[in-house]
Structure 1
Amino acid sequence: MTLTTRPGAATAYGTEPGDPDRAAFLGGPGERLTPEQVTSFVASALAAADVDGASVCLVVPDGTRTCPLPLLLAAARDALAGRARQVTVVIALGTHQGMSEDQLARHLGYDPGDSEATYPGWRILNHESWLPETFTTLGTIGPERMAELTGGLMNDLSVDVRINRHVAEADVAIVVGPVFPHEVVGFSGGNKYFFPGVSAAELIDLSHWVGALITSAEMIGTRGVTPVRALVNEAATMIPARRLALCLVVASGTDTLHAAAFGTPEDAWAACAAVSAETHVSYRDAPVRRVLSIMPTKYEDIWTAAKGFYKLEPIVADGGEVIIYAPHITQISVMHPHIAEIGYHNRDYFLGQWERFRDQPWGDLAHSTHLRGQGTWSPEAGERNRVTVTLATGIPEDVVRSVNLDYLDPAAVDVATYEADPDTFVEPHAGEVLYRLRPRAP
């Protein structure tokens, strides 16, 4: 295998972008859709879909994504009633931990233990990535095609494409989920709910490492078909089910939609990514010395709360600091304990010592770079990082420092004091909005 890096690689590769004009669409930047508008849109969209007599698999986000699923699934339930032969809901966990029955009930909008009363006949399942029997193999992406899709970032490498068998065995697979700026793929949503949402580790690790090679700072919020989006789209073409998507643009931290689109995953995603780019990206005129990222409780470990770093790091000055403030978090990663052994390092730290790290899970290496950010490494100078990453969480100080991060006692954090500091930017609901510096006029 040959590994190469190409700054600026996040352009169009391998597959054609979706056409937003082909998707049914409602809303736009700055709009606030009413529940009645959303329900009517979903009903109309599914009424036109070919689902009669079909087994339908709905692939939906887990609790780390803001999305009004009770509203959307109630509308889908009514639209599919008497038409779909069978409906299965699969929670797109990727490699996140499974949701408990109480969590699923809150997330999907039913009484714990009684989903049948709200969604009669539906099966509701976690994507159990930890069980081998979860998956079925769809095929392989070979070395030549891999090189094309990734713009030469990956050569002499093939990957098996495995997916949750409930998706593969359905007649129709429908993604229902939001679109946000994303550190690996540019903008989330669409086919990303299949890969990595309900896929096996091989493609998850590979896709995340491709994004890490480009770097989160360059990839996040990049529009169009990035190398990772090309890889995801290619894998999705192997799914035997007919693929559709209800993509959404959610007002961050709320259950209100700015926009909704329905069509193929490529077309619906393209329509919502354009709105997300105008809705979920906030610009500042000058960098700040410090950011205090206040993490919502839906982020249960640093693996998911890392969004509080990479969505705000772009506005931090060289030598500055990002503080992730989350007293409720007590673990580095529930599902990836190995990250505590690897620690958090920049991309060049791993590439410069590739023989040492090549056999580690690439998804873990990618996550490590996402939280550590930009920097350099050399045998002579060691690792030098652009900004300091500080955890003010319930994780013990010795554990925090052992993974190459700085520690701050969460009890010492006075949010009001930080808000009064002109050198500090406080984000009260970190994790979904991407902050960038406004481009300077030529």
Structure 2
Amino acid sequence: MIGLIKNEFMKLLLRKKVLISSIVLGVLCILLCLLISVAYKFTTKEAQIESQQYIIEVFEEQLEEAETEEEKNLAQANLDEAKASLEIIKNTPSEDDPNWRINVEETINILKEQLNGLPNDSGEKEEIRKNLLEYQELLNKDIRPMSEMSPKGINMLGYLIAFLGSLFTAIIVIIISSDTVSSECTPPTLKMLLTRPVKRGKVLASKFITAFATSCIVIIGIEIIASVIMGLIFGFGDPAYPMVAGTDYKITTVNAMIGKEAIAVFNSSYLSTIFSVLLKSLLLQVLYIMAATSFFLMISTLVKSSSASIAISIVLLVSINILKVIPYVKPVLPFLFMTYGNTTTVITGEIKISTLSSLPSPIFVVLIFLAWTIIPYIISHLNFTKKDILV
């Protein structure tokens, strides 16, 4: 068995498309990191204050140049709103603010007032509570607030999981595993392999293990390497940084025109850390890769042409992603493993918003991944054993 796995690894390493796709994926991750680091410069507190001050100057000029009373009133209203926005920005907690503790305390007081003024069945109340939990934990642990666009290593890992999970993870798995069997059917290599004194189940298992392990190494390896590089440049961030997870959502029907919407259930979220959330996300990503490998391996056993196997896999992937936006398909989404590419949303609970379903809890998603691993693999096994006769 070990010899078969080594042999499969060698064959994968010699495939140019695996190397090229890994390089392309790495370049895409680098571009994303550069984009986030550039965008971060425009979202710092100083940059926002400078931008808002410029807007105020523009409105002041408009007020001076206004001729009619109506124009003056409009310019004055815009100026007052811009000044109010400037005060909000100044009082917003940020990591580059020396007075961040004072601003966090003030924000907590504002959030408490907002929380008390809302009914329990309001989805907004749980969103406010989530912010309140995070800010209180920042004070308790004396951790500076971190911007959502922060290029720090641990924050970038979350972005990379979401970015790759949207589509690219499945594409890499397709490239690695979808022609694992079919590529050996075009030349008569499989026939020669099956005539050896090796059990057919071991041959298939070696191909599955190799494709699965290679996909994990490429995808998760690139995510971690890119995050480490960003960490060395911008800092790694605090792994104990508070992050709220497990939010439950109640799915309700608004009306015939709007349809359904997800409303956060009050008191359903719990406080965790960014390290814990990302670690669970990576573990779920491993299961996602395993399910994807099994599914695309099944296609490889059903189709004899290597190019046809890859084409069918990509068409299925694209079709499912397009069908996701169709309301009538929404009820099916929770049962498809491709729905859960961004595994972080499973941990935070936000996946229930996109699927408009209360089903996708972490345990439910794990069961879906296992089902999509076991059932396609059984089909692959049954079909592969027949090749002893059909090839």
Q: Which has the larger share of helix? A: 2
Q: Which has the higher contact order (CA 8 A, sep 6+)?
A: 2
Whether these two folds match at TM > 0.5 is no
TM-score when scaled to structure 2? 0.27
Q: Pick the structure with greater CA Rg.
A: 2
Q: Which has the larger share of strand? A: 1
